Amino acid sequence: MTKKPGFKDTISHIFIGNAVPIMFIVLIAFAIPLSGFSTGYLIEEMVTRLGRDSFLVLSLLLPIMAGMGLNFGIVLGAMSGQIGIILVTNWGVTGVGGLFLAMAVATPLAVLMGWIAGIVLNRAKGREMVTSLILGFFINGVYQLVVLYIMGKIIPIKNSALVLSRGYGIRNAIDLKGMRQSLDRLIPLKIGDISVPVATFIFIALLCLFIWWFAKTKLGHDMRAVGQDMAVAEDSGIKVERTRIVAIILSTILACYGQIIFLQNIGTLNTYNSHDQTATFAVAALLIGGASVARASIPNVFVGVILFHLMFVVSPMAGKELMGSAMIGEYFRVFVSYGIIAVSIVLYAWKRLKERERARRSLRGAKES
């Protein structure tokens, strides 16, 4: 007979369940005054960053649902998106039309990348996260090969502004002036001094709606089953391998669109570096929002993006105030990103080990000796 949880129990339950976001709120509350930024400035920054980064973080949800952990392979989607942008810029298509064209062109590439990633991850069951991480590095190498050597030589690039001075290979930085903020400004809205990227938020809301609806479909339900116990799902007739691949493909496509949205806001494509920290920062944000390797939901995404970016923005100035060097603040925020990922996977691995031990014992039944 369990007694009803009292008020104190509920409060402590909330605290423990959301320890990470709470810790971050405390940390940031301490750092904001140090940084000297005004509330208005911070709010403006957060509105921008929510628009810019949420889509990418949302793309991490489906693989977690399917039990594949943190999908560091979203960088493959990011790279697909970037190739889409390069091509569209090459063709001289600008504005929102260019943006959507880039998405359309990049989609088949993202599907291919997602399919490859899904197959590789199926062959590395139990090691999905580290495999997706290294796969990301590997494909980055292939991407660089294509963009640095093959484009311009074997794949013709008309727009000479894109090409390096030696005659082939794409430039390091491409100004996306045609596409810059095209989605953000599509539906203009200003609240006080802050411009709100309405169209982008609508896009994000549509994605949230899609994810919510998806969980109610057979495919989404199957994914949840596969994510909890592959053997039981297989025995009941669910096609486990195929379901996992679909999860990764969807994640990669969403990351592709997410990266395009990200880049249209920033306005510049750093051909060789824009995607370097995509996975790390998206994963860190999601975890800071209270998600774990095995469980993540839409609120985790938005809470995470806000907390992560608040920390990101205030760290350099807070570092300068506290330690006399902005560099320390910058190193600090990178350390926090990696650190939170490290802590989350340690907790997850430790819990998994404990669960395996407990499951072995529960086989024998409830009888005591």
Residues in contact with another protein by CB under 8 A are 120, 123-124, 126-127, 129-131, 133-135, 137-138, 140-142, 144-145, 148-149, 166, 213, 216-219, 221-222, 224-225, 228-229, 231-233, 235-238, 323, 325, 327-328, 331-332, 334-335, 337-339, 341-342, 345-346, 348-350, 352-353, 356, 360-367, 369
Q: How far is the CB of 230 from another protein (least distance, A)?
A: 10
Rounded least distance, CB 356 to another protein, Å: 8
Residue 210 or 267 having the CB closest to another protein: 210
Choose among 302, 335, 314: nearest CA to 53: 302
Query: Alpha-carbon distance 80 to 207, whole Å?
Result: 19
Tokens at 101, concatenated: 């064209």
As measured in angstroms, the least distance from the Cβ of 116 to another protein is 11
The answer for residues whose C-beta is within 8 angstroms of residue 336's C-beta and 6 or more apart is 284, 311, 315
Decide whether 129 or 305 has the Cβ nearer to another protein: 129
Distances (CA, A) of 308 to 27, 28, 76, 204: 11, 9, 23, 18
Nearer CB in complex with another protein: 186/334:
334
Find all residues with CB under 8 Å of 33, minimum gap 6, and list them. none
CB 49 within 8 A of CB 305: yes
Q: 141 or 192, CB closer to another protein? A: 141
Nearer to another protein, 15 or 335 (CB): 335
In the complex, minimum distance from the CB of residue 147 to another protein, in angstroms, rounded to a whole number: 10
Rounded Cα distance between 210 and 202, Å, is: 12
Pick between residue 99 and residue 311 the one whose CB is nearest to another protein.
Answer: 311
Give Cα 356 distance to the centre of its chain: 29
| Nearest in space to 172 (alpha carbons), one of 162, 184, 182, 186 | 162
Amino acid letter, 340: I
Q: How far is the CB of 115 from another protein (least distance, A)?
A: 15
Give the C-alpha distances (Å, rounded to integers) separating 30 from 27, 35, 321: 5, 9, 12
Minimum distance from residue 355 beta carbon to another protein (Å): 10
Question: CA–CA separation, 293 vs 267, rounded Å?
Answer: 32
Q: Which is nearer to another protein, 29 or 347 (CB)?
A: 347
How far is Cα of residue 318 from the mean position of the Cα atoms in its chain? Answer: 26
- To another protein, the closest distance from the beta carbon of 92 in angstroms equals 28
Instruction: Report how far apart, in Å, the C-alpha atoms of 272 and of each of 24, 135, 144, 169, 292 are.
Output: 32, 17, 7, 11, 30
CB of 35 to another protein, least distance (A): 17
Whose Cβ is closer to another protein: residue 80's or residue 200's? 80
